[in-house]
């Protein structure tokens, strides 16, 4: 079951929250640009920026949810079962989309050390897409952002 939260205050994260969140992002997080399959309406597909976290500890998922809610960063929270004997459910926290990622970056900045370059590329990608909004088609620059982030994540 996924739950979406959304609000719009102008808060800045405290250094403690930035540091904690950066550590979580470096350990259990992922910053990437997802690709949706082509459809009749969008024959080339769609690029979607995503920051996600996965962890089996409910306290960590709850704390991530609390911190994101505190700073009005829209996000999804959900749990899914793993297959196999003795496997724990996995909690997912996802920040999806240009506006939500922009809000996250405005509040937390480049808070991670290990994934700092991915966050910088997400910010550059969002700024590039704001300068070239739909219906402008994706181009080689958009493709290069996705390739660079994928290479950093490998």
26: Cβ contacts below 8 Å, ≥ 6 apart: 112, 113, 114, 115
What are the tens digits of pLDDT across the range 54-96?
A: 999 999 999 999 999 999 999 999 999 988 777 899 999 999 9
Which comes out higher in pLDDT, residue 45 or 114? 114
The fold of 3-153 is Endonuclease I-creI (3.10.28)
Which comes out higher in pLDDT, residue 14 or 11? 14
Does 115 have pLDDT greater than 50?
yes
Q: What does the pLDDT read at residue 10?
A: 58
Distance, CA of 140 to CA of 89 (rounded, Å): 39
CA distances from 96 to 14, 82, 84, 87, 103 (A): 23, 23, 29, 27, 11
93: Cβ contacts below 8 Å, ≥ 6 apart: 52, 53, 61, 64, 65, 68, 75, 76, 77
Looking only at the bridges linking them, the beta strands covering 3-5 and 46-55 are unpaired
Which residue matches tokens 């290479």? 151
Distance, CA of 41 to CA of 142 (rounded, Å): 19
């Amino acid at each position: 079951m996924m739950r979406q939260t959304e609000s719009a205050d102008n808060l800045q994260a405290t250094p403690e929250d930035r540091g904690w969140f950066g550590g979580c992002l470096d350990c259990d997080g992922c910053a990437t640009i997802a690709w949706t399959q082509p459809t009749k309406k969008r024959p080339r597909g769609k690029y979607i920026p995503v920051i996600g976290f996965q962890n089996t500890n409910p306290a960590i998922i709850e704390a991530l949810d609390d911190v994101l809610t505190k700073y009005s960063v829209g996000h999804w929270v959900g749990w899914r079962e793993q297959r196999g004997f003795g496997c724990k459910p996995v909690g997912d926290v996802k920040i999806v989309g240009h506006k939500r990622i922009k809000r996250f970056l405005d509040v937390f900045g480049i808070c991670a050390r290990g994934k700092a370059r991915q966050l910088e590329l997400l910010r550059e990608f969002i700024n590039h897409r704001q300068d070239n909004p739909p219906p402008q088609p994706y181009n080689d620059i958009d493709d290069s952002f996705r390739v660079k982030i994928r290479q950093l994540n490998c």
